[in-house]
Amino acid sequence: MSSTPATTSAPPVRISAGWYVAALIIYVVIAYFTKTVLLNWVMGPLFLLLTLYIIPTAAAAGLRKLKTRTSR
């Protein structure tokens, strides 16, 4: 059997296009009304990470904590 190089076993990350569109709409609406809050070189590039990873992850962790507390 020929030895093939090990590849990352996990399948590539899949994020639905709908999430990107939703994040873009939120970004444009907030940016339009606030201007400098999001239309800058710090918050702008980080917005996608914030909305599609950090906030959902933190929310899920918070919910898990809440569930374990209420189940006790």
Partner 1 sequence: MSWAAHEFELYFIQKHVGTKASFLAVVIGTQLPDTFTKTFVYAADDPAAFHRGWPGVGFSHSLLFGVAFAVAVLAITKSRSWALGLLIGHWAHILTDFADTAGVMLFFPFSTEPVTISMWKHAAVEGRYGDAAAYYSSLGGVWDFFWLLMTLVFAWKTLTPSYFREVVVPADPRVWGWLHRTFRLPERGLLLLYQGLLFYGVGRMIAWFLYARFDAQTPFEPFWGGPGYVEGNDISDSGWVEVLIRTGIGAILFVAFMWLCWRAFGRRLWERGYDVPAAVRGPGLHAIFELPSSKRRTPTKDTEPV
- Compare residues 12 and 18 and give the one whose CB is closer to partner 1: 12
Helices of type H across the chain: 17-34, 43-49, 55-71
Of these, 32, 37, 59, 65, which contacts partner 1 (CB under 8 A)? 32
- Compare residues 4 and 70 and give the one whose CB is closer to partner 1: 4
**By CB under 8 A, is residue 18 in contact with partner 1?**
no
Of these, 18, 41, 69, 71, which contacts partner 1 (CB under 8 A)? 41
**By CB under 8 A, is residue 45 in contact with partner 1?**
yes
Q: In angstroms, what CA-CA distances link 55 with 1, 3, 51, 71, 72?
A: 46, 42, 6, 24, 26
